Amino acid sequence: MMWRIVKILSVITGVSLGLVIIAAALIGDGVLTIQHNDIPQTLEATAMDKLMAEDLSLTTTMFIKQLSEQLNRWSEKDMSKPEIRKAFIEELNEHPHFHGFAIYNGDKMVEQLGHLSAKPDSLTHHHMKSEFSDPYEIDGQQFMLLGENLANNKKVIGEINLSFVKDFIKDMASVADSNGTFFVSGDNPNVNWKTTEDTPESLQAQTVPELGWQIVVHSDEQKQKEQIHYKKQQAVIKFKHPETANAWLADHPHLSVVEYTQPFYVVQSSLNETTDELIENLSHDYDIDFAEPNYIFTKQVSKMETVPNDEFFQPYQWNLNQINVSGGWDFSSGDNVKIAILDTGVDPEHLEMKTKIKHGYNAFDGSDDFADDHGHGTHVAGVASALTNNVTGIAGISWNSEILPVKVLDKDGAGTSFEVAKGLYWAVDHGAKVINMSLGDYYHTDVLHEAIQYAYDHDVILIAASGNDNVDDPMYPANYDEVLTVAAVDDARNRAFFSNYGSHIDVAAPGVHIPSLFPDNNYVVMSGTSMAAPHVAGLAGLIRSMRPDLNNEEVYEVIKSTAKDIGTKGHDSYYGFGEIDVARALESIEGS
């Protein structure tokens, strides 16, 4: 998803059963919040809400499928062997979701490890072989029981800690149990619903068939119009003659240096002046080469084909089949290529990332703390290069490539043009061959463009998401000539209704209901051009691994010339040159 000014375009989660999720969508600029209001929704807002509900439903199905299969695997262990029992207890204690485990034969417990706070008769909801309880609270935390029916009248039961629900939804959602009572909410003071009967009738709703959940989402279109696109009373400046900087700053004591990376300064004014007035005054100063606002950028999924054994590849990763990834893996898997993800960071401990990350960068404080306290960057990184053929989870496209996590967006999914530029310089200087930027806004900035040019001049492939506002206004960095710009399509190869368009679109890739990674070894579904872009970054990684002799312009040409033409014949404003085709792209450069 392409994340605009502060928060998300598409809500994702994967949690317990029998719940109602009230979430808020973001259309255009704006803080994602939940508000109790009766503002009529536009058709586009309604469609975005429906997209959110679908992502939530798919994520929930994946999450419960994982837990169900884990219970079945545990039930097959021979606990009579001390070494197996000891190893299992360690595994259970380290599991992020399971709190306790038991096996019943009829009504009699025959095995218990950990602790079950509720009794088996709490399992009052049924779906196929699975049974589940309503959520319940213990010491301020929410739990539920999940049961799986085995052969010979046996049943395996697990107690699940639902902290993932609250951790993920933050202020975006409120959750009600199957009785309609809310038991999880964010800290938003405007949320005052006690039951689902209190929610506005205008909200869009969708039921999750497998679980009986009802998912209700809505948009706050007023907030987006009020969003400020830059840091107040700050400016990014560059001096005509760098050696004069110290003397100039001494002569302007009302300006303090917030950040500095040669040759750029971020200064903040202590005077009672607006940002526009500050920029205007600086622009007329003889010693200043340029002065601009510190803009906010935000997050925006015929050979014998290789078929990986990852559990979610066949049932959920339609996106990889659509772009012919399996055929491409016969040529390349992305070895010896570093892909930089400029985003909210990446979870360094995720099982599908930890072996792929050697080091990273935090553009906010200059440290190597690139941990993802949001989730967007981990999801994007997974699409490009998740560990593959490891049985669990998903498959990544350039799955043998190293990931360089570059944290340029904070826990709210926001960062400035200055941080993004710093991240670009760092990525280039640390060996990135491909850089993915699922972020942006509608303003050209010199500090960002100079960093883009620096990367391009160092032969780096630059990939950017087009944006999620269904407009033809070009975003930056997507609109720069040095960047390959990606639009989003769905599983029918139709343009995603939210995907920005225009003459600057180069190619398209899947961006609707894309499964990928989420912090703490979770998997979620997201939608947006943020998900489309790393598909192309992954393809670029495969090409660079297979043909390191090709320069960035030649790689761009391979990607565009081998894309599957969809829409109007030839290049068009919705799909560019078409949807990427991994196998065709790699076949085209074999032996050439």
Provide the 10 A C-beta neighbour count for residue 527.
30
In 81-189, which ranges are E strands?
98-105, 108-114, 125-127, 130-132, 136-138, 141-149, 154-161, 173-176, 182-185
Query: Nearest Cα to 36, choosing from 182, 240, 209, 159?
Result: 182
CB 158 within 8 A of CB 145: yes
Identify the bridge partners of residue 207 per DSSP, sorted by sequence position: 214
Report which residue type is found at 108: K
Can you say whether the dihedral through the CA atoms of 117, 121, 127, 129 is positive or negative?
Answer: positive
Task: Give the pLDDT means over successive 10-residue stretches in the chain (592 positions).
Answer: 33 28 29 26 64 75 83 86 88 87 88 87 82 86 88 88 71 62 58 66 61 58 52 89 91 90 89 88 89 74 58 90 93 96 96 94 96 95 93 92 97 92 98 97 94 98 96 95 97 94 97 94 92 98 97 98 95 97 95 69
Centroid of chain to Cα 554? 29
Centroid of chain to Cα 347? 11
Q: 241 an active-site residue?
A: no
What pLDDT does residue 203 have?
63
Domain that holds residue 346: 301-588
In a domain, 356, yes or no: yes
Query: Nearest Cα to 379, choosing from 542, 537, 531?
Result: 531
Same domain, 452 and 381: yes
Token pair listed for 580: 């990427």
Same domain, 162 and 258: no
- Give the count of domains, the chain: 3
Measured between alpha carbons, how far is 191 from 181 in angstroms, rounded to an integer?
Answer: 14
Measured between alpha carbons, how far is 8 from 1 in angstroms, rounded to an integer?
Answer: 8
3-state secondary structure 421-457: HHHHHHHHHCCCCEEEECEEECCCCHHHHHHHHHHHH
Token pair listed for 317: 């990763």
Scanning the structure block, which residue is given the tokens 């032996």? 591
Q: 343 an active-site residue?
A: yes
Q: pLDDT tens digit string along 491-545?
A: 999 999 999 999 999 999 999 999 999 999 999 899 999 999 999 999 999 999 9
Same domain, 360 and 257: no
CB 238 within 8 A of CB 274: no
In a domain, 10, yes or no: no
Same domain, 562 and 547: yes
CB 513 within 8 A of CB 285: no
Q: Which residue in 130, 499, 516, 530 is the catalytic one?
A: 530
> What does 93-115 look like in DSSP terms, one character per residue?
HH-SSEEEEEEEETTEEEEEEE-
Same domain, 117 and 186: yes
Q: pLDDT tens digit string along 256-299?
A: 998 888 889 999 998 888 888 898 889 889 899 989 888 776 55
Domain boundary among 244, 277, 298: 298
Centroid of chain to Cα 139? 31
Domain boundary among 195, 223, 251: 223
CB 294 within 8 A of CB 414: no
Centroid of chain to Cα 462? 18
CB 573 within 8 A of CB 505: yes
CB 461 within 8 A of CB 433: yes
Q: The domain that contains 483 carries what CATH number?
A: 3.40.50.200
Q: Which residue in 95, 99, 374, 376 is the catalytic one?
A: 376
Query: Nearest Cα to 449, choosing from 415, 409, 412, 417?
Result: 417
Token pair listed for 154: 């046996």
Domain boundary among 162, 188, 223: 223
What pLDDT does residue 170 have?
59
Query: ∠ at Cα 179 (178, 184), nearest 5°?
Result: 70
Q: pLDDT tens digit string along 290-339?
A: 898 887 765 553 333 467 888 888 888 999 999 999 999 989 999 999 99
Rama region for 233: left / alpha / beta (φ>0; ψ in -120 to 50; rest): left
Same domain, 347 and 240: no
Measured between alpha carbons, how far is 55 from 72 in angstroms, rounded to an integer?
Answer: 26
Non-local CB neighbours of 563 within 8 Å, separated by 6+ positions: 507, 508, 576, 577, 578, 579, 580, 581
CB 401 within 8 A of CB 543: no
In a domain, 273, yes or no: yes
What does the DSSP 8-state code read for residue 133?
A: P
The number of C-alpha atoms within 13 Å of 189 and in the hemisphere containing its C-beta is 0
Measured between alpha carbons, how far is 437 from 538 in angstroms, rounded to an integer?
Answer: 13
In a domain, 359, yes or no: yes
Same domain, 372 and 262: no
CB 433 within 8 A of CB 338: yes
Q: What is the pTM assigned to this prediction?
A: 0.75
In a domain, 1, yes or no: no
In a domain, 67, yes or no: yes
Query: Nearest Cα to 8, choosing from 171, 166, 162, 207?
Result: 171
Same domain, 56 and 164: yes
Provide the 10 A C-beta neighbour count for residue 524.
28
Q: 503 an active-site residue?
A: no
Q: Which residue in 55, 177, 343, 347 is the catalytic one?
A: 343
Q: The domain that contains 279 carries what CATH number?
A: 3.30.70.80
Same domain, 201 and 318: no
Same domain, 152 and 219: yes
Same domain, 185 and 50: yes
Token pair listed for 336: 């010896």
What pLDDT does residue 8 have?
28
In a domain, 379, yes or no: yes
In a domain, 437, yes or no: yes
What pLDDT does residue 44 have?
64
Query: ∠ at Cα 537 (535, 542), nearest 5°?
Result: 95
Same domain, 405 and 536: yes
